[in-house]
């Protein structure tokens, strides 16, 4: 696991966009794993700017989102399919239907989960997965207690996650759905490269467990310690509880630029 601590949030966007740009240059048909939430927005903003400047194209790429609320009606602004379209997909040149997400409106939710796994597999798997992290250490919507080998499935959201996400629903906790469909931890672990973005003090405890804690279903993101290629991009506030913070800084400072992340 590589830990990169950068003082400016914009620099996090640049570094992640560099990795995605390099991937698309060598593999224009790359499959991207797209996360919702506020953390990856700097990455999407940077990629949209590069697309507008003609520096990158998604025309042949595919995308898969991580998760979806159950039951939010089509067109609801907080439905993750709508969100990812608004914040990223509609701002670049993905082909029609190139970005898929779990179907939280399916009449058979279990079947929708299975077919989502098939779709990711059929596309050749995810080349680069962008991730955020919840304050309770969840990735996608894999809440504490999730099986470390889980696949795409129906989950019940914790109160903490619903409180955290209420800001997107007019601070009305009752408006936040109770259930979701989410890629499992086992599904996410199959991505070839995982780039996790965490910023702000509120993420410091989860980041501490992710990077330096014991692997445990209580902090689901810790499963990433078993992945061979994870890059964790942090600002100073999110890194404030890391024991080896000086080591991470020195390591990154002495890394040759050409090596990338
Ligand atoms: C939601 C999403 C996660 C995201 C998390 C953190 O729960 N399902 O994918 O990582 O929020 O979001 P934020 O980046 O806004 O803090």
Average pLDDT of the chain? 97
Q: Would you please indicate which residues are annotated as catalytic (active-site) residues?
A: 67, 136, 138, 143
Atom 3 of ligand 1, residue of closest alpha carbon: 140
Q: Which three-class secondary structure string do you get for the chain?
A: CEEEECCCHHHHHHHHHHHHHHHHHHCCCCEEEECCCCCCHHHHHHHHHHHHCCCCCCCCCEEEECEEECCCCCCCCCCHHHHHHHHCHHHCCCCCCCEECCCCCCCCHHHHHHHHHHHHHHCCCCCEEEECCCCCCCECCECCCCCCCCCCEEEECCHHHHHHHHHHHCCCHHHCCCEEEECCHHHHCCCCEEEEEECCHHHHHHHHHHHHCCCECCEHHHHHHHCCCEEEEECCCCCCCCCCHHHHHHHHHCCCHHHCC
Q: Kindly tell me if the per-residue pLDDT of 107 is higher than 90.
A: yes
Confidence bin at 72 (pLDDT 50/70/90):
very high
- Quote the domain boundaries for residue 112: 2-259
Q: Does the Cβ of 65 fall within 6 Å of ligand 1?
A: no
254 C-alpha to center of ligand 1: Å? 31
**Looking at residues 123-141, what average pLDDT do you find?**
97
Q: Give distance in angstroms: CA of 139 to centre of ligand 1.
A: 7
Indicate whether residue 46 lines ligand 1 (CB < 6 A): no
* pLDDT at position 45: 98
Give how many domains the chain has, as a whole number. Answer: 1
**Which CATH number does the domain housing residue 103 bear?**
3.40.50.1360
Structure confidence by residue, pLDDT tens digits, 140-185? 999 999 999 999 999 999 998 899 899 999 999 999 999 999 999 9
Q: What is the pTM of this model?
A: 0.96
């Amino acid at each position: 696991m590589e830990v990169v601590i950068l003082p400016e949030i914009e620099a996090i966007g640049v570094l992640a966009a560099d990795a995605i740009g390099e991937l698309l240059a060598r593999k224009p048909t790359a499959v991207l794993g797209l996360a919702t939430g506020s953390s990856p927005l700097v990455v999407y903003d940077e990629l949209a700017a590069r697309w507008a400047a003609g520096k990158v194209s998604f025309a042949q790429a595919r995308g898969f989102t991580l998760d979806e609320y159950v039951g939010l009606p089509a067109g609801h602004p907080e439905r993750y399919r709508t969100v990812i379209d608004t914040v990223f997909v509609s701002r670049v040149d993905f082909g029609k239907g190139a970005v898929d997400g779990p179907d939280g409106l399916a009449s058979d939710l279990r079947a929708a989960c299975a077919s989502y796994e098939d779709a990711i597999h059929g596309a050749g798997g995810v080349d680069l997965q962008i991730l955020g992290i919840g304050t309770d250490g969840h990735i996608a919507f894999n809440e504490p207690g999730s099986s470390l080998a889980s696949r795409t499935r129906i989950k019940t959201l914790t109160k903490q996650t619903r409180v955290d996400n209420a800001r997107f629903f007019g601070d009305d906790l009752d408006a936040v759905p109770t259930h979701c469909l989410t890629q499992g931890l086992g599904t996410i672990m199959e991505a070839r490269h995982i780039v996790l973005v965490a910023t702000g003090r509120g993420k410091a405890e989860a980041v501490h467990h992710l990077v330096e804690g014991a692997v445990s279903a209580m902090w689901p993101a810790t499963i990433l310690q078993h992945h061979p290629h994870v890059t964790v991009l942090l600002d100073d506030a999110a890194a404030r509880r890391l024991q080896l913070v000086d080591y991470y800084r020195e390591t990154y400072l002495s890394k040759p630029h050409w090596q990338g992340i």
